[in-house]
Amino acid sequence: MKQIVKPNPLPATWRPQALYDKAQRYIQQAQTIDKDQWDYALWTSLSLELLARAALANVHPVLLAEPEKSGANIIHALGFEPMEKKFTPKSISVADVFRRLTVLLPEFLTDHESFGIQRTGQRNAELHSGELAFDGAKGSSWQPRFYATCKVLLESMGFTLADFVGEEEAEAAEQLIAAAADEGAKAVKGEVEAHAKVWNAKEDGERITLVGQAKIWAQRQIGHRVDCPSCGSVALVLGRPVAAATRMLEDDMIVEKQEHLPTHFECIACGLKINTLAKLTVVGLADRYINRQEYDAAEVYAPEPDEWADYEEDNNER
């Protein structure tokens, strides 16, 4: 059968791989920023939209095309050149992208859809209004759902979280997802309430002394200082590194920074201890933090002492 009109190669507008590559470009940009910053949240939200569009286009590019009377968008998404003058391809809204994914992908649940719509809605508020939509939001409140949503989208295209964000970040993301899903961890609320009850029963003078001791202790120990969820005293969160350390020279000092994921918490004022990431998530202490160390540049780059300097040369050549 003769075919007089043949499709061209699919434009990048609709091509799944092009959309995925752009999503990865944006997430890589996000990874250059501290995870408690508003612009980290912005770049991840941009990446999420492109990842969702890539997943939908991977089912079929036409699913991204906005339907209209002439069908020009659909024609273009099939690889043909529309006859319309000044044609500009137009895709469906991101909310419709998430709705269609819920219908098409068995593993893409309504929770993923609602998170995607809510997150990109915040993004629009950040970009198109005076609202500071991403300021002040703790990463632990949204990163587990973000990564869970990304994971489902990636798997629908044959990718993994490690493909998308690298091995180290993927490992941390899997821990955040698992911690958020641990229903048993909610029992920690009872532990916090019990310590608060004992704390409130103490005499005022004893509480003042304990608060002072906790403040001094926290300054002397290595860890991330936070407020105790039980008594409000200065306490410490400790964790493990989840990314390679970076070094920068600042005023003759070498500043080394390394991102840590919390693993446990301790308050010496009321005695509360919390030992899992899942429980820390429940009480709002699961945010990643930056461990900062400073070194004297002169000491770091000083030449190694010559341990043989005091010995005479052993010339045994004949």
Tens-place pLDDT, residues 103-157:
999 999 999 999 999 999 999 999 999 999 999 888 888 999 999 999 999 999 9
Distance CA 106, CA 33 (A): 33
Element (DSSP H or E) covering residue 257: strand 253-266
Nearest to 245 by CA among 257, 261, 262, 260: 257
Tens-place pLDDT, residues 162-197:
999 999 999 999 999 999 999 899 999 999 999 999
**Helix 38-59 with 94-104: angle, nearest 10 deg:** 50
Phi-psi group of 35: left, alpha or beta (phi > 0 → left; psi -120 to 50 → alpha; rest → beta): alpha
Q: What sign has the CA pseudo-torsion 15, 19, 20, 21?
A: positive
pLDDT > 80? residue 20: yes
Q: Give the start-end residues of each E strand in 144-251.
A: 224-227, 234-241, 246-250
Residues in the chain: 318
Does residue 47 contact residue 120 with C-beta atoms inside 8 Å? no
Distance CA 66, CA 184 (A): 45
pLDDT computed for residue 38 by the predictor: 94
Within 10 angstroms of residue 169's Cβ, the number of other Cβ atoms is 19
